[in-house]
């Protein structure tokens, strides 16, 4: 398991571009801006007309569990298309922030091909897992959260001692730097607790987060579980941590 990186390795990662991560961020933003959810396209109308266009958009490109297992090729593609569709500005910006912060280092360590397979494959399976657990639901499921959760899982395995800046409510939202092995399992525990309180209705698909997180961690373990040739040194912080 990758436990530490030398200072030279940390510098190399910080200086390495992350084309897959940046492309994914750009695609998600582009899809959102040209879709009816952004409200920027006059052709989508306004008021009730805009809401109707948004509902049709989600049903076409999102995952509808009740339709997924009917054998339609179009429905089987929706766990892939849903990864690029978001339900609002806050949904988009929150996901892209997590992807940008954790994706670049994970991509640099895994390589572009393995990172792409982790993101797309685990993201698809995360949405599929949620749909299987809520097979009768008629609600549309959209968003890259399952795939980004897989990136978080992979990051935890690869950089468990990396310092992550967190805002903790019980500390009045003061920024605290904690190792990834503390922050990310705590985040996963919150998802687990929240998933137990949901009933498959509209809202956040916490189960997809959990499935993606576990798959990402497992994928990194399969790919890098026997890697031991590293020198002991403090692990680097995620990209963007020290930015104002």
Which portions of the chain are predicted below pLDDT 70? 1-16, 165-179, 181, 187, 194-203, 226-244
Separation of alpha carbons 60 and 81, rounded Å: 9
199, containing H or E segment: none
C-alpha distances (whole Å) from 85 to each of 24, 28, 243 are 12, 7, 28
- CATH class, domain 7-224, is mainly alpha
Is 209 one of the catalytic residues?
yes
pLDDT recorded at residue 181: 67
Q: Which of 86, 137, 140, 145 is catalytic?
A: 145
Q: Give the per-residue pLDDT at 194.
A: 67
- Per DSSP, 82 falls in state G
Cα distance between residue 70 and residue 118, in whole Å: 26
Per-residue pLDDT, 162? 83
Query: Residue 222: which residues within 8 A CB-CB, separation 6 or more?
Result: none
- Predicted confidence at residue 48, as pLDDT, reads 84
Is 145 annotated in the active site? yes
Residues 149 and 102: their CA atoms lie apart, in Å, by 10
What tens digit of pLDDT does each residue of 187-221 get? 677 777 766 665 544 457 888 999 999 999 999 99
Torsional sign, CA 211, 126, 114, 112: negative
Task: Collect all residues with Cβ–Cβ distance below 8 Å to 86 and sequence separation of at least 6.
Answer: 28, 32, 37, 92, 95, 142, 143, 144
Q: Where are the domains of the chain?
A: 7-224
- 106 with 151: CB under 8 angstroms? yes
The DSSP 8-state label assigned to residue 170 in this structure reads G
């Amino acid at each position: 398991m990758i436990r530490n990186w030398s200072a030279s390795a940390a510098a190399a990662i910080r200086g390495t571009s992350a084309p897959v991560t940046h492309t994914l961020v750009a695609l998600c933003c582009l899809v959102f801006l040209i879709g009816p959810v952004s409200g920027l396209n006059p052709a989508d109308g306004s008021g009730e007309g805009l809401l109707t266009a948004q509902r049709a958009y989600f049903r076409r490109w999102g995952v509808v569990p009740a339709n997924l297992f009917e054998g339609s090729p179009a429905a089987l593609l929706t766990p892939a298309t849903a990864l690029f569709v978001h339900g609002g500005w806050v949904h988009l910006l929150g996901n892209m922030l997590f992807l940008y912060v954790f994706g670049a280092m994970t991509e640099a360590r895994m390589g572009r091909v393995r990172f792409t397979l982790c993101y797309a494959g685990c993201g698809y399976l995360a949405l599929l897992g949620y749909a299987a657990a809520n097979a009768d639901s008629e609600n549309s499921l959209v968003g890259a959260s399952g795939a980004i959760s897989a990136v978080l899982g992979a990051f935890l395995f690869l950089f468990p001692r990396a310092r992550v800046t967190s805002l903790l409510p019980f500390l009045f939202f003061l920024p605290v730097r904690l190792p990834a092995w503390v922050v990310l399992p705590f985040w996963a525990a919150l998802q687990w607790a929240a998933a137990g309180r949901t009933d498959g209705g509209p809202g956040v698909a916490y189960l997809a987060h959990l499935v993606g997180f576990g798959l990402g961690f497992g994928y990194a373990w399969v790919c890098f579980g026997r890697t031991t040739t590293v020198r002991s040194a403090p692990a680097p912080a995620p990209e963007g941590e020290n930015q104002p």
